[in-house]
Amino acid sequence: MLFNLISWFAPSQQDCPVCGRNASQASSPIVVPVKHAEPRRILTSLCGTCRKSIPWITHAICRICGRAESCEDCIRRQNRYYALSRCAVRYDPQMRDWLALYKYRGNEGLEAVLSAMLAFAYERLCEVTPSGFDVITSVPLAPERLRARGYNQAERLAIRLAEWYGLEYRPMLLRLRHTEKQSLKTRRSRVVDMRGNFAAVPTDLVSGTVLLVDDIYTTGSTLDECARVLTQAFPEASREVYGLLWARS
């Protein structure tokens, strides 16, 4: 009986949504670098070990793509269609495992965690684009990949972000064909593969700034091609496209 009474008044233990350990047993306070209350709550639900392992990109060395090191891709790119982008974390082996748990193993509980991490990059991007964004959209999946997976992870992350920060989410792009995994290709192959791979969705004109969400930035080929389509499809709309990505490889 005494045991039951103690359990009623004891603080409830919460399992870490990533590893399943008791999230209340953090050995020391760990800073959560997000201002918005809901993403902060989600990130504090992680155990101390998982929270400490997040490789936040707190300082962008490349002012264009937001990489934490100098970026040869941005230096070599002669024409760029997106204004700039920011990423939340480095794409290290730990982050690769987290994304795989969500994308390929169906651990949908990680969706909120990845979205909360993306909120960090959004708040950093707002620091360099103080005028804000008029609409948020996402990089689409090819129809066959969408059928196989059942959802578009970039779209899910973008919709959560839109809800938290009061943005309008709107699908603005179609993917015209399926391509193999970009991580297995050279930079030149990625650029060639992305050309002509997207089309603008017929919709009302949206002028101003567009925030484009994806999960990983590798060379920027996908982001830049999407931005090219969005800016050239309706040039009279005076669009400016910014990228927001969960991880930077």
Domain boundaries, the chain: 15-248
pLDDT score for 21: 87
pLDDT score for 1: 44
Mean pLDDT, residues 119-138:
95
Helical (H) or strand (E) element with 153: helix 153-165
pLDDT in tens, 33-46: 999 999 999 999 99
What's the DSSP call for residue 29?
Answer: -
pLDDT in tens, 44-76: 999 999 999 999 999 999 999 999 998 988 988
| Opening angle at CA 16, ends 116 and 217, nearest 5 | 35
pLDDT score for 3: 41
CATH class of 15-248: alpha beta
pLDDT score for 30: 79
Distances (CA, A) of 217 to 106, 188, 229, 244: 22, 15, 18, 9
Q: Which residue do the tokens 């050279």 mark?
A: 186
Distances (CA, A) of 77 to 72, 91, 191, 219, 220: 9, 22, 11, 10, 10
Out of 134-143, 152-161, 204-213, least confident range:
204-213
